[in-house]
A and B are shown apart, each in its own frame.
Chain A
């Protein structure tokens, strides 16, 4: 069938062997690819008895039926696993080039099981799979590995872990194409636990397209739509994602000093405008992307991709630091060591608060830009204070008897948006299946930017319907797999048209949203099976009880309880957050529970 390669590559590191077999196409029709397909496969493979860092956990790499076709932003891919940070289901996705190359190698899915006795790296050249000794590579950093293994954007693409993944940091990322990250939730630690250093891919087959003529027309039309949107043609290319810094600060929703404040006096100094004026070298793009939001920035010490908004915030406002060169360098260091920038920055901020309040014996202090780089190094290598910080803020704060100072949901650190000034974002964080995250829907669109139209950010009643819609659409886009920025120029219904054109299966807009809802509910079922429950759909006490004392969000806390009740009802779940049988029937998920 066009779009999918219909082929699974299944690797067993215990024996360094592999097999290939056909993809279950009924499963593919229901879950499409990427995040959805990964969740469906993980459901069968990894149950509650399996420790995330044991050989029995798996890494499931998936692309989607659009990947590698050349459709705008069709470069992305996913990894799905049980998260060592949260214990929940985890999907992380990344752009760049590796996903496209993996698709061209002829696979929809790669499952990596077991654990190699010695460090190993894998080379994939279509049907030729080779296991290489990685003993000499173990310990090397990401940029050096990418160079040594021949990273070349359109020909040969390197995915790897850095020292953080080797040392099983629960906030370690998997890096691809040198500076792209499958960042959140600690997938790098899972890869490290398997003694797998890198996966290098070279592919030669372009995926088949069911209706090439119509596909060409849709490519043309999409190009026009992206060019016509001021968001995708001007805002993102000109200033990148960091342009959000000033507006979030202006409305009093920029989390500051571990969420102790909601405005940062140094926001202007770390803004997208400042980055563009003083440190931007040029723009860059992922494969087949006309938007080009990537920044190549340069300081006296480093030159490379980024930083994105969330990373700039994490090392900036969240740590009370207004030194942009130090932030750019911290971002580059995390990429080289293979650490999630959001969790790394927010964990350092948590340590700063613990230390300032005397709960932890360290000299970490808010505003100390000079402490960023040495702390990040220590985290990746688990040396000195870094051993306490390497597993994220919740484990750190719990060790020092103040878990309430971890700014996380389900153990995953939040991104930049302080939800006291964005009620919908608070509900979104609390209900996200992988923990505190802005990539499982993001209410910054309707609550701050007026996308597609402005709603009252402090409104509570009725907010859950927006959150549910955004969560479902995000799950659908993550299953195609496309970049969510495409959705700023191209309406949701367009995705059904392009998917139908590529695969020959007729999807309508309703079916795409239903795919997203199906994926969301399957992830919920997975977490319930792991023992998560209503009590985990919550936020730190600071966000629920401590209102900001000044600024535009003064007096507001997250009104979670009424929104959560409304949310469960809107999702067709019972009062404990368990999907009702009729909802599971409707989504074709009921049979999973019977078989389970």
Chain B
């Protein structure tokens, strides 16, 4: 019985597609099923586990990455949809020599993280926000973080961190 079951599974092997992405400036090419989500492509195929899966239903923002420079939720995009495009993950934010991105530095300086699970998504959402509104004020930062949840409820210092990087925020 078990053998029959196993052979049934192996017969229904799903066709794979070659998906090429530029991830943090490096060309990645992997054969994956069409149903592979971008977040799993990044974590399982590229080995970049900084991008987290939180709610897995496009609410919490822990999976936020940049797609061609804009924040998106990688749990709600099939890798096949973005074949050939450019993705930046949290691993691509610091300099090659380890110097932190100013936003990472601000989170560090302002205690912008507690457990840290939401942090990669917060940093990616925040940098995308400041690219669109370089002088974002507190209201704009809070609204810009609508798509990111912090279960530690550490929003105050997250907002403070982002304002430290904003041209319109308190220094």
A, B from the same assembly: no
